[in-house]
Structure 1
């Protein structure tokens, strides 16, 4: 049946719509931190639908909220007052840390980043955007135009002029050998030099931890230092929190808070985990930025009642059960366990991350050369052992991505680490 479905998939869907595994999975249902495929095989899920099943599969509080809302009304558009949308916007505005915040809901992170770019360019009257090397911001025409990862940017055409900045990947590039303080200073000087050769950009957009890029990150404080330079010139800072938001990094609720000595970003985008699988994205910005557009707009499906009900229930569960604290505690144990294993596996260049956002970079032993075939082999071996993980990276997709639901417990972390250990040792 799976082969039949795969044939049908290939017959009607684009060739570039990526599938994991030599024999792709059809996932039929899930519960907690586990999913099952069409053959009845059970897997521990360490990728959560690309960080989207944030709390747990089939979380009763969310499914109940969705069911009850569906029994009342599913959708009416933003042309009518919408109580769940207002309630979720109020909570997100307060949590964002942005003063006098306004919230606009979309259906995806791509659309959220597209909206942020529209706001920044309209507010600043500039179509020049600063972005980070190795970055990813979505699949729309404008988003791929600012993506700094060639594997996810299928066209060089763009409505924007994009300039790429150093700093998103700590252990590669011309400044990798420097201390953290010297690294930040060198990146800041590079930014200043870049700004001296261009017209005033609208904004810098940056993921606090690069997601598709392989869970790479700069030293804490880099974006705070960038912010000082940007603020002097009136350039906005957009924090892309699509993958880092809602406590996933453990130490902070938002990724930007690791760089927050100069306050919150001007604009912040979010998506993925807030709906626990329902399609929610959005933008938070200071009111004068959000309100700068001088024409009408709506969002047909952004903020629809059923997704807002899911978001409210999911956010409530996340906060009441301190899943941020759980990500810090269980994620810390998992990272240390994986680093101990990696020390015995020459193909592992680095285990990095924070909270439940962990990257394992695979290279040819003794070198910095990416080894995507070996990374794919580890992913296959993990699946055979009953564990689902992701892939990413700016160097030929040779980083494994580990991002379980934030309710992961210690026993499940140990189970997943043991499976990953066997998968990594199988490549020696």
Structure 2
């Protein structure tokens, strides 16, 4: 059987009026949020942070708020005079060659690291469940002669690491979700090791400019709220280690989220103006901000992420006892993708409070300029993250090689490895 395009097309035609009505209502809501964003951005940090202005005044998670340190607000929000910080350089570009020239000048001599991971899930072809996870890291020194360091680090997951005990304790079963969890931890361990190496090289005077670490994904792990306690703990603990390494070694860390659907600013505005939005639904921040950003490279001023309790989980005393850091996760939206989409970067708050290298007021100013330039080279998505993804990916051919390797290993060691009959049938038919 194949996909029935005629039935699908007829179903779309039957619902065209409902879709058009939804889009009209959506456009109206987006415009109202844009007006509210513009109004609120003129209020100033003190008024926004005043609990009396935020709805009930007792909410711990208002979505977002302007950053402050020791009771003093970070000056950019109040001195800039608006929510959007424009990127004037891009207004003069007439070709991608001009973009590349700008990016090369900005990035020259900046060591930037990116990591990514991939996995081969537990195979169902055999009676022996094993899996494989792999982390790739790439370090581009951005020097004229070219210097790109790359490596892979893989790990085999045995049946014991892929199985859980049933609630009644009578048997164990294979849980394929453990592969993704272990892959996440493995990638996190790689990030921390490489961050430590970068800090040591910087402190030894081997780097001319401060290094930057790009992490593919958010620092705020709201997605873990649907997990069981133990799974959630392991994800959070991994990110705690990464964030703590940034604080302790003072290596800028950026969690890069492409095509974000976060709604922290919308949530903040709804609490600031409850009478305006009432029961209106929450929409992504990017839908609102895309109409407020004029040129490529525009960004928002930084905000503190106060989405939910997963933010707080990243700080304080570690369960492992290795770290005890305090701070906040900040975020900015960046207008770099093709089209009307926006990307989001998340980073530790120390970046906005620490002086930057020559030519940059803060480490945040330095970091976001470098991230923007790397995205320019990648035509809308950081080139280095693309490289790490390409290096890390394990495709179907890699899975087949792994399975052949497993078969050969089993034969060599007299392991009774058997094909599953159903899997074998599928293999033959495909």
Structure whose alpha-carbon radius of gyration is higher = 2
Do the two structures share a fold, i.e. TM-score over 0.5?
no
Bigger proportion of residues as helix: 2
